[in-house]
A = this chain, B = another copy of it.
């Protein structure tokens, strides 16, 4: 009980394999008589034919495979796991719509594992949570012409597209929802130092009013200094914790799960549906390899 190939179909329908290929791929430049078309399609169905994408990929030099490479931080925090889970879901959903399949891989400092890009001939890559140094070490392994979209990082390299939540509008919105000037900021730590700096700047607060939170412990100590004061919190889980002692808070939902923010707390959510456009863009980059792929920023828009 082996899988049927186009050869089997050809034999069954009494035509050549080329004809079968033309019909199955609906090749526009070929005219095919209705008679043979029907004959072939029927045979294909009977034999339960399904394309062998491995063989196809080898021939056409496009695999239809998109990679999602995710740097594993020291310890997967609930909030970052959730953030990336939802991001991955969004990417997968939209890739699927365009006929791509998605390879998922967690990578660490060891560059070599990222040679998956070349081994598997990925058509495009999303790179998540990477810092500048690691990026430099792994960029060797990038095939040329493979579009790379960097998520949650601010990589200094005009070759790559960058995707981040719209922090500028996010902070604006948070401030206006808060209705008063925030006096502190609590944020989760980012693998990418440049992005972390950018966020801090956008908050408009001095360094000493900002707490970068790597675990819940230090948080309460910091918060106690701001009892009763208004502030902004990055990510829903830290907000949950902060809510125990504070009530004048605005949350930026950087874990993409606004639904867990308690009723009544001011929240700013970002739109993961924007990945639809982003994936489309990647697709365009894949189609015309020579599309002017200038540095480009994508900001996930604030949901209002």
Contact A102 B103 (CB under 8 A): yes
* A46 part of interface (Cβ distance < 8 Å): no
Count A interface residues, CB 8 Å. Answer: 44
In the complex, besides A78-B82, A103-B104, A104-B104, 10 extra interface pairs with C-beta distance below 8 angstroms are A3-B143, A52-B119, A53-B121, A54-B58, A72-B89, A76-B86, A81-B257, A85-B85, A101-B105, A101-B116
Please report the C-alpha to C-alpha distance between residue A301 and residue B257 in the assembled complex, in whole angstroms.
29
Min distance, Cβ A281 to any Cβ of chain B, angstroms: 21
Residues on the B chain within 8 Å of A58, using CB: 52, 54-55, 58
Residues on the B chain within 8 Å of A102, using CB: 103-105
* A63 part of interface (Cβ distance < 8 Å): yes
Contact A81 B76 (CB under 8 A): no
Please report the C-alpha to C-alpha distance between residue A72 and residue B96 in the assembled complex, in whole angstroms.
14
Residues on the B chain within 8 Å of A63, using CB: 54
Residues on the B chain within 8 Å of A103, using CB: 101-104
Copies of this chain: 2
Q: Which residues of A contact B (CB under 8 A)?
A: 1, 3, 50-55, 57-58, 63, 68, 72, 76, 78, 81-82, 84-86, 88-89, 92-93, 96, 101-106, 113, 115-116, 118-121, 143-144, 237, 257, 259-260
Partner of A259, one of B78, B120, B260: B78
Q: Are A115 and B82 also in contact (CB < 8 A) when A101-B105, A104-B88 are?
A: no
Partner of A106, one of B52, B55, B68, B96: B96
Please report the C-alpha to C-alpha distance between residue A72 and residue B116 in the assembled complex, in whole angstroms.
27
Interface SS of A by simple majority:
helix
Return the chain B residue nearest A255 by Cβ. B78
Return the chain B residue nearest A236 by Cβ. B78
Contact B118 A78 (CB under 8 A): no
Residues on the B chain within 8 Å of A96, using CB: 105-106, 113
Min distance, Cβ A82 to any Cβ of chain B, angstroms: 6
Contact A78 B119 (CB under 8 A): no
Please report the C-alpha to C-alpha distance between residue A54 and residue B102 in the assembled complex, in whole angstroms.
15
Please provide the 9 A-B residue pairs with the shortest distance between their CB atoms, ordered closest to farther. A85-B85, A104-B104, A50-B118, A53-B119, A54-B57, A54-B58, A81-B85, A78-B257, A102-B104
Residues on the B chain within 8 Å of A78, using CB: 82, 257, 259-260
11 A-B Cβ contacts within 8 A?
A52-B58, A72-B89, A76-B86, A81-B89, A82-B85, A85-B85, A89-B106, A101-B103, A101-B105, A103-B103, A104-B104
Residues on the B chain within 8 Å of A144, using CB: 1
